[in-house]
Structure 1
């Protein structure tokens, strides 16, 4: 039995794990954005998943054995891994032309899409507050991607495509999380992310090797992603989802901060308003009892 003080310590640890994980995800995006000026995005995405896969094979697989691979739903597991690879690929393509904060905000439309798609796909009732939050969220998108703004239309399309893939990924996670343990989900995302990007490599590698510094940054992508997802899993194990789900929007803060520190990019007033509207719309769903799915 865990007493109240022990339970409180676990909750605090869960919150800290969550905040650190979100920082690592933003650091991953910032590093990928920097590297995309020198290397093709598909190469970076493939390397990110390959490093995560190797970390799991070395650090987790020996302890869990075959149970980390064996699944009763291989098709859904593969599809889920491919959708997350699509999120990463489209998100990093968006980052080649869009600032970090704006890209993150546009991808955060995904929880609103999940709330709408949960009706026909998961047979959940779509409430009035869900429709209102979704409409508000897309108004925020229009403020960020307004026609008279400076954002690239192609970048916005990639970011919204990443949001759509992320919504599909979250719905698949909700279908699988009851029967598949978190570390198995995490392993399969690394495995199928690596395999999904592999056929693209011959078309995007010109034979040049990265410098030592670039190589270290490429390895860091997999470390950020793997450690970040592991910390997020631990966070949801130690603190209630109702507490952690609203905190996921802190990633918008981290993205804005890193975008300013690393790239000297700050959103203008209208874009900031749009980001706040998207965040508030997502928070209204999270606080209202529709927490986001546990990433893997």
Structure 2
């Protein structure tokens, strides 16, 4: 008999290892940036601080550092700001933007910078043109030789006399601007004449304290600068220039704080617009 056949053993193949899929990270949505700032921007509106809203994705708590820069029309940086978190996703500049009295004409540029671990989408920049400054018409009020550029936002609180001899007083926020004028002695300005002219502008029932006086110049003209201390709830420091103009006219230009210890910068800027023609 033929020998029985022997079956060869069947080899079971090893299982093939299927690699596990690499988990894909779910992308986190970006922060949404929105600038919150009023327009039009005007030099004499109460300055509003620059503010932005930075909204994170739902359920995500993230910290960010926010800053801002304002460029003048010529591209130079006018001012930089750090914006602090104020809650409700709002970041606000510590100090407001205060434009100069006569800002350079053209397009200004506000740029926001955000340092955050998340991407940021939204409005990074804002372009604006400062609104033109509206002035009081003083052509029939002041002597013909005098010019003073007083914004309409300055409220007139006192008016006396006429273009020959008189005065006007304006208030703006916590400051006062005043200009008085009258014909003076036909001689070079002396201290005694300057003091008499100064005291003529005081309230005789509540005069301020004159602290000191310095002989100086105003735009090349002989002048005396007096420092005063005004009393009461609306008191504060004051500076008064007594200047001699053409035909020996005398002028008293005063700026002072009202209820505070610092003369507002915009009051000083308007003071600097006072000129006398030859």
Q: TM-score range by the shorter chain?
A: under 0.3
Identify the structure with the greater strand proportion: 2
| TM-score, reference length from structure 2 | 0.21
Structure showing greater Rg: 2
**Normalized per residue, which structure has more helix?**
1
Q: Which has the higher contact order (CA 8 A, sep 6+)?
A: 1
Q: Using structure 1 for the length normalisation, give the TM-score.
A: 0.20
